Amino acid sequence: MKRIEDLSVKNISWLNSNSYVLELSGTKAIPDILPGNFAEIRVDHHPGVFLRRPFSYLDVDEKNNSISFFVKVVGKGSRKLGTLEKGELVNVIHPLGNAFSIPDNKKVLITGGGSGIAPFIMLGRELKSRGNEITIITGGRSSEDILFSEEFKAYGEVLCTTEDGSLGEKGILTEHPIFTKDNFDFDLIYTCGPEGMMKAVAKIARDKGIACEASLEHLMACGFGVCLCCIQETTEGNKCVCTEGPVFNTNDLKW
């Protein structure tokens, strides 16, 4: 069940020049959160920000009643949230959206670009606990953008691409040699990041007949299914990204 509540800023830690982890904690037990779910965060005290901003959960700490988000600064709201002080209250509606499917004992590939890596910390942990064999590949412009590698290493093999070649393979994510290897035999691919990247990953998946789940980052006004602004065309007509997504099987998308 979704709820609306004020949480307080526990910590903000900057990871590089344009992204940070925002940790919020409450006094009540946090709700049940699944990998892929997101929250709608209200950005107060900024004249230019009217609507809430959606962010996927980066992680959940049930012991401390705290949740965290990985935020990439792209505009007014994401910048403002990064200037909050410890103890300030932030109004949150959550948890929202559907979740990634979690198979048992399969071989899975996780592909994340930019802020799209956010949901994969929780996803990776869940996948690992269910006996899956995990490969994670993240892409970025330069080494600065390749984040959470240590965390990901605990789940499986970690690969990366950078456009400037400063870390891992040079190029965009789908240019990584893994995609052309003969033994590219995953059972399921997950993707989250810029739409171009997700479409490229989905195409590879489709070509190879592998199931693929993408988490979409559509513009949202409400986040809980009433405004109908966040729709995605699917084979079954328009679907709400906020309630019927953000996770979709890419075969259902008209990509």
Ligand X SMILES: Cc1cc2nc3c(=O)[nH]c(=O)nc-3n(C[C@H](O)[C@H](O)[C@H](O)COP(=O)(O)OP(=O)(O)OC[C@H]3O[C@@H](n4cnc5c(N)ncnc54)[C@H](O)[C@@H]3O)c2cc1C
Ligand Y SMILES: Cc1cc2nc3c(=O)[nH]c(=O)nc-3n(C[C@H](O)[C@H](O)[C@H](O)COP(=O)(O)O)c2cc1C
Contact flag: residue 45 with its own copies (CB under 8 A)? yes
SS3 175: helix
How does strand 66-72 pair with strand 53-61?
antiparallel
Tell me how far apart the alpha carbons of residues 75 and 77 are, in angstroms, rounded to a whole number. 6
Q: Minimum distance from CB of 155 to ligand Y (Å)?
A: 40
10, 41, 52, 111: which one binds other proteins (CB under 8 A)? 52
Q: Is 103 in the site for other proteins (CB under 8 A)?
A: no
Peptide bond between residue 103 and the one before it cis (omega within 30 degrees of 0): no
To ligand FES, the closest distance from the beta carbon of 61 in angstroms equals 27
Q: Which is nearer to ligand Y, 167 or 229 (CB)?
A: 229
Structure tokens at 226: 């009433």
Task: Please provide the DSSP assignment of 103-137 as one string.
Answer: -SS-EEEEEEEGGGGTTHHHHHHHHHHTT-EEEEE
Question: Out of ligand FES, ligand X, ligand Y, none, which partner does residue 118 contact, by CB within 5 to 8 A per kind?
Answer: ligand X
Closest CB 253 distance from ligand FES, rounded Å: 16
Task: Enumerate residues 53-72 that contact ligand X by CB under 6 A.
Answer: 53-56, 69-72
User: Which region, judged by CB under 8 A, interacts with its own copies, from 43-51, 98-106, 114-122, 244-252?
Assistant: 43-51
Alpha carbon distance, N-terminus to C-terminus of the chain? 32
Q: Which residues would be at the binding site for other proteins (CB under 8 A)? A: 1-4, 42, 47-52, 91, 93, 218-233, 237-238, 243
